[in-house]
Structure 1
Amino acid sequence: MIRTVSAWLTPSRWIYRKPKDWAENLRPDLSDPHPDAAIPDDLQTAVLRAQNAMLQQQNKEEGFWCGRLRADTTIDSDTIMLLNFLGRGSSIKVRRFANRLLKAQLTDGGWPIYPSGPADISATVKAYWALKFAGHSPNEPSLVRARKKIRELGGIHKVNTYTKFYLALFGQYDWDGVPTIPPELMIFPNWFYFNIYQMSSWTRSIVVPLSIVWASHPRMPCPAHAVLDELFPDSRRHVPLSEAVGPHAIVSWTNFFLWWDRGLKFVEGNGPHWIRIWALRLAEDWVLERLQGSDGLGAIYPGIVNTILAMKCLGYGETDPRLLEQLAVLERLELPGEDLQMQPCQSPVWDTAISVIALAESGLDRNHPALVRAADWLISKEITTEGDWIVGNPKGHPGGWAFEFNNEFYPDVDDTAMVMLALRHVYLDEPLTVLREKACQRGLHWMLSMQCSNGGWAAFDKDNTKTIFNKIPFADHNAMIDPPAVDITGRVLEFLGYIGFDRTYPSVERAVQYLKAEQETDGSWYGRWGVNYVYGTWQVLRGLAAIDEDMSLPYICRAADWLKSVQHEDGGWGETCATYHDPRLKGRGPSMPSQTAWAVQGLMAAGVYDEAVERGIEALIRTQREDGTWDEADFTGTGFPKVFYLEYTMYRNNFPLQTLGTYLRMVKESQRAALRMGLAGSLSEARI
């Protein structure tokens, strides 16, 4: 059980040094370096437009921002599958989701996992099946093209584990061809080398409910019009996993786990019955506990869908309030419109924190009512109870923020750092000032306790780095573990620097050494949670500048030079999700406002204020719409590299605003410096 602690930790429990001038560092700088400076009209206009546009998007009652979070079509297809599993296949929603699928189809017949990407076999098979569920004939041109593309991509047997799992629910794939996910995983104690807490938090949210489904081996009647016989030309409803995973050495962990899977399938149903009952009870209790204080398991789409499937397999009735609540949570992820589209989750804490920073750094009064309301809301979302993170960090104490509205068991380091950065930017009166300081103290100590042994920070867990888990047959979502990431580490350093930490602090020094070790030979850094090397390089440079690193050091100059080397002729920067599949493509792609903003911020953090920065600023001003927003055609967020990408619809607006604001402040400061030099020169002449 997760224990609850008091919201306030006494000083005797703090295990990290308090930075110098804590209260002073938490107080935002309200000064304008030179309010009467002559600012270029186009720059000032762009900032004001962007500010107004962002203020209009704020939830006026509660004070948060929450943009639409879009993903590929796989979750829309999965929703059609789920509705059929629940006996709601004739719902009008199914047709509306199907319309969205048809519009997203590529001309070659397939479906991609990001807008500019090629057809993906799993996304294409899912969409094809979903359209058949929705009543579309296999003879329709769109499905004929899709079927041809599926064959070109290697056929239905090439789909990933979770696609096979859903196909098996309706008898469209044999369970023998689906990797085993036994509920007996729940029996392994936390100290055992293989246990669920050695998987990433999102994998736990996916796998634990799926293990309940696996134990049931359900087979729902598949409507005749949705049967996929035409995708099995050789009539084989599965292939051995050894064929599915591709070439591998005889003596390898991959082969070990394949034999392990065969053994589990052989004993399935023949072991002690009481062990299976015990394991299922543990899995059910684990899921139900984590629904408390959360918008679904992990507050993410796969966890919610798999929980619904598990509840049905456990016999929960149609009117069971626990099942109804999960269905309601899922419905809240729908994006309304002529066509329906699902969100993978909601991002209010993240969007609010970034928006506060953007508005404050672009010159909005730090005590503006919009910022005060947002800060009040952010403070209210602090999580002060223990979550799954406590298993890998037993000495840590709660105090952090999650990404979503409610996700009590899964605060993350990235959101915690971003929220505390945002709170630093707002001027608050009591009692909010006291609440902010206490929340930030708790957040700081929790965040520091989450530092991994190599000096970096990961998202949800500490030292969740056993790469052997990537060899498990159901690990093909490419995110079985949660290792440290340079982008998160850079953001943590950014906050630590703003409150007085520097390299004299051991935690900071270890982080800097980690970042140096992770730098690419060309000077860039890999971005785990944003696309991609532009994102990683920007955030590392911001963090290093905040801790007063010498920005003239060679490794930083290499990073700045790399950013300048990939600037486009139009002055912007762009990079696509394809870089995760082929790093040689880094820095290539149509210019995007969010990525242009990141690159310019990175250069300014590195102390570069030359033509490259000016051209980047001009590109942002030139591409801004009349309403103060920007257009962005591709995804710039990352869920699981190579597998799942995201479109943060607020990135295109809040990061450019922050960048223009930072540049505006630089212009004012340079004019003030010039004025001082002029006054000094006049005084010298007067003395002469």
Structure 2
Amino acid sequence: MRKRALEEAERWMLERIGQGSDGLAAVYPAMLNCLIALRVLGYSKDHPAYKKAAQDFAGLFVEDPEDFRIQPCMSPIWDTAINLIALAESGLPADDPALRRAAKWLLDKEVRIRGDWALNNSHPEASGWAFEYNNVYYPDVDDTAMVLMALRLVRPEENWGLEGAFRRALDWELSFQCRDGGWAAFDKNVTTPWLEDMPFADHNAILDPTCSDLTARTLELLGYIAFNPKTRCVRDAIHYLIETQEADGSWYGRWGVNYIYGTWQVLRGLRAIGYDMTQDWILRGRDWLESCQNDDGGWGETCATYENPATKGIGRSTPSQTAWAIMGICACGDVDRPSIQRGLRFLLSSQRPDGSWEEPEITGTGFPGVFYLKYDMYRQNFPLLALATYVNYRNGFITRPGFYQA
């Protein structure tokens, strides 16, 4: 039994470090453990499998005159999609060459392999996008939603096959809705709590629970392509968001720091889907955001909130978190609210002469309480998107016209 189990684990690992993947899951912990496992299994450093795994791992290294760092992973799909959205919403024409180049690059990165997600999801056709350059076994719901929101804003060339790819990926995304009405990142209904009681439960990150931010982002996508609150999947998702709201009106942010991130995305998603934003439970989310605005007009929150929720909404103002809060409050209507105006002044006054913002703080989440992610583009693309969102709302629309409707 042990011999057979080791052989199967070895086969599985070799398959996932082969062609189409930049290392096992294309993320630091799995890639490092893969190198250790290969050596334990007797692979020499000259073996092609080990050499590829080592080369992929070295691709995470960052060397400069000051220091040496190892990135946890790459984020090109995610960064490109957000940047495309920010530029398009800011008024760059839908047929702008830069937008078209980015959109075509994203289209070419669509995953067409049935990865490990297929064990719990019988959806017949593979699609979706991963986070990294090449990670074909692990596309995820969040990147797929963000990419689809980006692609809809670009006027495609006739030979791109955008409509087919969009429909395929949308069906794939919808197939991941879980029993509770929410969406998780990589899997469907992988929430069995006893698995976290095992000694190798990987910092209690062995499960893939549904979360409010991913669920709301999916609602945002669906709203932009003509879904409405009466659709069954949308009704279930809204019920999930009602059930997961915190007592103070905020929402937990699984993939961004933290309650500011979760609350912004829920409010934005509900506005996009056409929900009545005057409902008391929704306005409690807006009020919570306003309650934690800093004296300088910005918003900030630290990674410590994952260990101590009592510190939620407290932190030095950052451009990205200020942008999230502004967009969340804008989603509730009344863009003349003093909190929005103060937040905009913070962004404008902290912008540097070259148009950029400075943000040394970490506002991205990998695994709460374990490791966090510093997305260097967040300090640029989200402030730009917040400014564009404000202008668009003032002009009477919540998003630029798209080129795809469900």
Query: Is it true that 1:483 corresponds to 2:209 in the alignment?
Result: yes
Query: Is it true that 1:315 corresponds to 2:57 in the alignment?
Result: no
Q: Distance in 1 between matches of 2:369 and 2:204?
A: 7
Deviation at 1:666, TM superposition (A): 3.3
Query: Is it true that 1:653 corresponds to 2:383 in the alignment?
Result: no
Deviation at 1:385, TM superposition (A): 1.4
Deviation at 1:336, TM superposition (A): 2.6
Query: Is it true that 1:286 corresponds to 2:12 in the alignment?
Result: yes
Q: Distance in 1 between matches of 2:387 and 2:265?
A: 17
- Once the two structures are superposed, residues 459-485 of structure 1 have per-residue CA deviations (whole angstroms, 9 ceiling, x without a partner) of 000001011111112225131210101
Contact 1:539 1:602 (8 Å CA) reproduced: yes
The residue aligned with 2:319 is: 593
Q: Distance in 1 between matches of 2:258 and 2:396?
A: 32
Q: Secondary structure at the match of 2:353?
A: coil
> Which residues in structure 2 correspond to 1:370-449 (within 5 Å)?
370-432=98-160, 435-449=161-175
Contact 1:478 1:641 (8 Å CA) reproduced: no
- Once the two structures are superposed, residues 390-418 of structure 1 have per-residue CA deviations (whole angstroms, 9 ceiling, x without a partner) of 11112342110000000010000000000
Q: Report the residue type matching 1:361 in the other structure.
A: E
Q: Distance in 2 between matches of 1:618 and 1:364?
A: 23
Q: Report the residue type matching 1:420 in the other structure.
A: L
The residue aligned with 1:641 is: 368
Q: Report the residue type matching 2:308 in the other structure.
A: D
Q: Report the residue type matching 1:431 in the other structure.
A: N
Query: Is it true that 1:365 corresponds to 2:93 in the alignment?
Result: yes
Q: Secondary structure at the match of 1:431?
A: helix
The residue aligned with 1:81 is: none
Contact 1:478 1:643 (8 Å CA) reproduced: no
Deviation at 1:669, TM superposition (A): 4.7
Q: Distance in 2 between matches of 1:485 and 1:396?
A: 25
Q: Distance in 2 between matches of 1:487 and 1:528?
A: 7
Structure with more contact order per residue of length (Cα contacts < 8 Å, sep ≥ 6):
1
The residue aligned with 1:306 is: 33
Q: Distance in 2 between matches of 1:562 and 1:608?
A: 16
* Alignment RMSD: 1.2
Q: Distance in 2 between matches of 1:429 and 1:319?
A: 45
Q: Report the residue type matching 1:534 in the other structure.
A: I
Which piece of structure 1 moves more, 405-414 or 465-474?
A: 465-474
Q: Secondary structure at the match of 2:190?
A: coil
Q: Distance in 2 between matches of 1:390 and 1:291?
A: 18
> Which residues in structure 2 correspond to 1:573-592 (within 5 Å)?
573-592=299-318
> Which residues in structure 2 correspond to 1:200-211 (within 5 Å)?
none
Q: Distance in 2 between matches of 1:332 and 1:510?
A: 42
Q: Distance in 2 between matches of 1:361 and 1:395?
A: 33
Q: Distance in 1 between matches of 2:73 and 2:331?
A: 32
The residue aligned with 2:403 is: none
Q: Distance in 2 between matches of 1:438 and 1:518?
A: 34
Deviation at 1:340, TM superposition (A): 1.1
Contact 1:568 1:591 (8 Å CA) reproduced: yes
The residue aligned with 2:402 is: none
The residue aligned with 2:400 is: none
- Once the two structures are superposed, residues 288-312 of structure 1 have per-residue CA deviations (whole angstroms, 9 ceiling, x without a partner) of 1112311111110111111111111
Q: Distance in 1 between matches of 2:322 and 2:275?
A: 24
Q: Distance in 1 between matches of 2:233 and 2:267?
A: 17
Which piece of structure 1 moves more, 470-479 or 299-308?
A: 470-479
The residue aligned with 2:262 is: 536
Query: Is it true that 1:626 corresponds to 2:353 in the alignment?
Result: yes
Among candidates 240, 243, 248, match of residue 514 of structure 1: 240
Q: Distance in 2 between matches of 1:488 and 1:536?
A: 9
Q: Distance in 1 between matches of 2:108 and 2:390?
A: 32
Contact 2:296 2:346 (8 Å CA) reproduced: yes
Contact 2:123 2:172 (8 Å CA) reproduced: no
Q: How many residues are treated as equivalent by the alignment?
A: 394
What stretches of structure 2 of length at least 5 have no aligned partner?
398-406
Q: Report the residue type matching 1:309 in the other structure.
A: I
Among candidates 586, 593, 606, match of residue 332 of structure 2: 606
Deviation at 1:606, TM superposition (A): 1.3
TM-score where L is the length of structure 2:
0.95
Contact 2:88 2:94 (8 Å CA) reproduced: yes
What stretches of structure 1 of length at least 5 have no aligned partner?
1-274, 671-688
> Kindly, what percent of the aligned residue pairs are identical?
54
- Once the two structures are superposed, residues 63-84 of structure 1 have per-residue CA deviations (whole angstroms, 9 ceiling, x without a partner) of xxxxxxxxxxxxxxxxxxxxxx
Q: Distance in 2 between matches of 1:345 and 1:570?
A: 34
The residue aligned with 2:389 is: 662
